[in-house]
């Protein structure tokens, strides 16, 4: 592509200087060019002529050194700002050596905040990064940056308003029925998750503890031994070994798509925040599990064939009771009843009863919050859901309450004052907050080695997986061009 960058140096390449032996063999006319004197009547002695030639030779050597130094400097600047055009072979996916078809293993480390990989040596995660593709400033979760909405967005490529899991807990506004994290009725789970897409395309899928994977949808029946019901007591080692066992099956029975889920370091983060030694230990343990996975794949000769995509669902930030906002403090402006509130923190969701205009409720709440008379009131802003920033994509569902409050990073909303004093960690805040970012690492035949890509929202991952597997995906909120910009071309 373009002209050869080396051609730019041709015009500055110095010509070779003649040696002293060559000078002695030069013709009279060429010797005259090296003389300082053009006066033919001046009869110089041989010694003076030799001295002048030596002086001129030294000057020419000096000029040549300057020219060479300039050329090297120019070349360095040119190639540092204009790297050589990659060869065609380096842009192509690496061929499979043992597997007969692409296989994707999607691994989630819950609550793995971007930057945790620097808290402790992580040789195995670092190996995946060095030999794969990484989101250089982290993966952006969807809003709200909570576990179930984000895991299901990764699986479907849809924002929560479209896949239906708008929070970890919520209620249906018509039936009043409550959704909780153990709800497996398909009426809650909209969209088409990857495991369903895979089987719809005649391929095989296996899931290990991915939110929503236990739900029977379409052709996906959560098959025995290929779909694990969530059980937190199952050791991480057993989870890894079970996934590795799939690669011991006959070639035509190896699942084309697999998921693997770890609760850590989210579990520790909620207890101690993002900067405690417990987090360091949890991150080290996750790295150990990735090492166990890599070794197992290497022993089976398939490590370089498998596309490993390692992600988190959200980040984590420290919280403390000094960062509280109490709804009861708004009483001079409006009495926000407890039964109006669907969720308090980290997303304030309010569904006022009939007879209370939502617009009026929002206006009065914001008046009180901005008055300077409500403790920490400036750290909460309340919206009609249709007036939320459009980048949040959090309006197009009746399951979303009509009033949503955005809480500043690290703050919490409670109904009334208590004597409870606690510190810990939380997530769920605006996905523009950097502490909510998590990790994305892609390693495998179609991921370039050592490549850094800009941060992106996790709804793009669905199309990434379907592109690797070369299958047709369902409609989603990701961009069709994203996979092309990240993956190496197929040969």
Residues with catalytic function: 147
Provide the 8-state DSSP code for 413. Answer: E
Question: Which structure tokens are listed for 102?
Answer: 């692409």
- Whether residue 316 contacts residue 427, with contact meaning beta carbons closer than 8 Å, is answered with yes
Cα atoms in the Cβ-side hemisphere of radius 13 Å centred on 44 = 14
393 CB contacts (<8 Å, ≥6 apart)? 142, 143, 159, 160, 161, 477
Cα separation of 317 and 334, whole Å? 30
Strand 205-208, strand 227-228: pairing: parallel
Rounded to 5°, angle at Cα 290 from 288 and 291: 60
Backbone angles phi, psi at 398, to 5 degrees: -70, -20
Cα separation of 451 and 441, whole Å? 10
Quick one: CA dihedral 186, 244, 116, 456, positive or negative? negative
Question: Which structure tokens are listed for 101?
Answer: 């078809």
- Whether residue 243 contacts residue 259, with contact meaning beta carbons closer than 8 Å, is answered with no
Question: Which structure tokens are listed for 82?
Answer: 């204009």
Cis peptide before 211 (omega within 30 of 0): no
Q: Other C-beta atoms within 10 Å of 483: how many?
A: 20
């Amino acid at each position: 592509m373009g002209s050869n960058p080396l051609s730019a140096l041709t015009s500055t390449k110095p010509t070779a200087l003649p040696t002293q032996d060559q000078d002695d063999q030069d013709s009279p006319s060429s010797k005259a060019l090296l003389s300082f004197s053009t006066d033919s009547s001046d009869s110089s002695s041989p010694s003076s002529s030799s001295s002048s030639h030596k002086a001129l030779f030294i000057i020419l050597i000096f000029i040549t050194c300057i020219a060479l130094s300039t050329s090297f400097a120019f070349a360095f600047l040119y190639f540092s700002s204009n790297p050589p055009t990659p060869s065609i072979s380096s842009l192509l996916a690496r061929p499979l050596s043992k597997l007969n078809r692409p296989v994707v293993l999607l691994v989630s480390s819950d609550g793995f905040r971007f930057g945790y990989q620097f808290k402790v040596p992580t040789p195995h995660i670092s190996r995946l990064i060095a030999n794969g593709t990484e989101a250089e400033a982290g993966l952006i979760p969807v809003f709200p940056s909570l576990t179930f909405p984000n895991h299901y967005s990764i699986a479907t490529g849809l924002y929560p308003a479209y896949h239906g899991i708008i929070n970890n807990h919520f209620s249906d506004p018509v039936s009043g029925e409550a959704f909780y994290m153990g709800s497996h009725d398909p009426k809650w789970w909209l969209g088409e998750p990857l495991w369903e897409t895979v089987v719809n395309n005649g391929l095989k899928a296996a899931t290990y503890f991915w939110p929503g994977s236990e739900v029977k949808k379409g052709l996906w029946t959560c098959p025995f031994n290929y779909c694990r019901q969530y059980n937190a007591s199952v050791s991480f080692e057993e989870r890894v070994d079970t996934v590795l066992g799939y690669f011991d099956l006959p070639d035509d029975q190896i699942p084309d798509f697999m998921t693997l889920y770890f609760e850590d370091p989210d579990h520790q983060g909620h207890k101690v925040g993002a900067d405690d030694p417990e987090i360091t230990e949890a991150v080290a343990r996750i790295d150990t599990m990735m090492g166990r996975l890599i070794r197992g794949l290497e022993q089976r000769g398939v490590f370089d064939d498998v596309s490993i995509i390692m992600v988190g669902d959200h980040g984590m930030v420290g919280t403390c009771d000094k960062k509280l906002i109490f709804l009861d403090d708004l009483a001079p402006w409006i009495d926000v009843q407890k039964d109006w509130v669907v969720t308090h923190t980290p997303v304030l969701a309010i569904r006022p009863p009939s007879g209370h205009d939502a617009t009026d409720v929002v206006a009065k709440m914001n008046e009180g919050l901005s008055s300077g008379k409500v403790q920490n009131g400036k750290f909460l802003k309340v919206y009609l859901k249709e007036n939320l920033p459009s980048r949040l994509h959090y309006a197009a569902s009746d399951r979303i309450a009509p009033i949503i409050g955005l809480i500043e990073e690290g703050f919490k909303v409670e109904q009334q004052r208590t004597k409870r004093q606690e510190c810990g960690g939380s997530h769920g805040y605006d996905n523009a907050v950097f502490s909510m970012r998590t990790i994305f690492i892609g390693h495998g035949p179609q991921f370039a080695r050592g490549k850094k890509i800009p941060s992106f929202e996790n709804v793009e991952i669905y199309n990434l997986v379907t592109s690797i597997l070369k299958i047709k995906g369902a409609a989603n909120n990701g961009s069709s061009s994203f996979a092309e910009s990240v993956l190496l071309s197929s040969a």
